[in-house]
Chain A
Amino acid sequence: MEYYVIYFFLTLALSTLFSMGGVGSAIGLVPIFSMMGMPLNLAKAIGLFINSASTITASIMNFFRGVLDVGFAIPLIVSIMIATPVGAWMSQYVQKEIVEWVLVAFLVVSALLLIFSNREQKVVYDKAWILYVIGGTVGLISGTIGVGGGSLIMPLLILLGFDAKKAAYAISFVIPFSTLGAFATYLSFVHMDWILLGVVTVAAIIGGYLGDRIMHYRLTPSQVKKLIAVVLLLLAAKMIYKLIGV
C-alpha cells in the first residue's frame, strides 16, 4: 500500500510541474522510478502511459479554451506516430547510454539557448516539412529512451519562433499520439503492474489538470520559457549523475 502511495505523490508532483511547461513528466519519472528499483523497461512503459494521461487532460482543457490549433499539430502527429514505435522497437538493440548522452547534450544546449536567446519572435518558421523532420527525429529518440518527446520538441519549436505557451499547447496534443503507440510496443515485452499503472495514471490526470491551470492563469510566455529551461537543466543534471554513476 505504502509503495503505491509513494508512487502516487511522486507522479502527482512531477506531472503538475511538467504540465506547467506543457511537457510530459516521463523524462523525470523514468530515471527516478528506475533508481527506486523498478525494472527500466517497466518504468519506461509506465512513464509513457503517464505522459499520455497528463497531456490528454491538458489538451482537452486547451481545446475547450480555444487555444489548441489541431491543424498545426498534424505534421508532428503523423511523423511522431510512425517514428516512436520504431524507436521503442530499436530500444532492444541500441546501447542506452549512447542515446542518453545525446539527450543530455541536447537538453543542455536547448536550455542554454532558451535562457540566453533574446530573439524577438516576429517570424515563425512553420513550414510543414520541418515539422515532419522534427516529429520523426524526436519520435525515434523518445521511443528508444521511453520518454514522451515533449521536452525535445519544445525547445525546437521555441527556437523556430513559436511562442512558448502556444508551443506547449500544441505539444500537449501531440504527445499522446507518440506515447500510446510506444506504450503498446513496450507492453509486448514488459510484465505490467496494472494496479501501479492505475494509481499513477490518476495522479498524472490530476497533475495534468493542476499544471495546465497554473500555466494558463499564472505564468506569462517568458516565465514558461524560463521554467522549461530550468526543468531541462535539472533533467540533464539528473541524467549525468546517473550516467557517470557517482
Chain B
Amino acid sequence: MLHIMKKIAMKMLENEKKDALDCSVSDEVVDEWLDTIEERKKRMQEHHKTDTEQYDMLLGVEKEVKKIKEIRAKKCTKPD
C-alpha cells in the first residue's frame, strides 16, 4: 500500500514542481517545506521508525524538494 502511495507522492511532486519552480514563490516557502520534512524525519528516527516504507517515502520527497531547491538556486538567482 505504502509502495503505491510513494509512487503517487512522486507523481504529485512532479506535477507540483511547476509551482515550486516559479521564481515568484518565496525561497522561505521551499525552506520551510524542507524544515518540516526534516522535523518529521527526526521524529521518526526518535521513534525508531526508520525501517518503514513511510520513512522511505519521506526520504524520496526530501530528495525531490532538495532538487527543486537546487534548480531554483540556479534559475532564480538574479545576476548582479
Contact = CB atoms under 8 A, between A and B. Distances in A.
Interface of A: 61, 63-67, 69, 71-72, 163, 165-166, 169, 213, 216-221
B12 to A, nearest CB: 5
B20 A221 contact: no
B32 to A, nearest CB: 6
Given A66-B37, A217-B20, A61 B12 contact: yes
Nearest to A222: B28
Given A64-B8, A66-B9, A217 B40 contact: no
Given A64-B8, A65-B61, A66-B58, A220 B33 contact: no
Nearest to B20: A217
- Give the interface size bracket for B toward A: 20 to 34
Nearest to B44: A71
Interface in B17-54: 19-20, 22, 25-26, 28-29, 32-33, 36-37, 39-40, 43, 47
Contacts of A66: 9, 36-37, 40, 57-58, 61-62, 65
B57 A217 contact: no
Contacts of A63: 5, 9
Contacts of B16: 65, 213
Contacts of B22: 217
Contacts of B39: 69
Given A67-B33, A69-B40, 13 more contacts: A63-B9, A64-B8, A64-B61, A65-B13, A66-B62, A69-B39, A69-B43, A166-B36, A169-B36, A217-B19, A218-B29, A220-B26, A220-B32
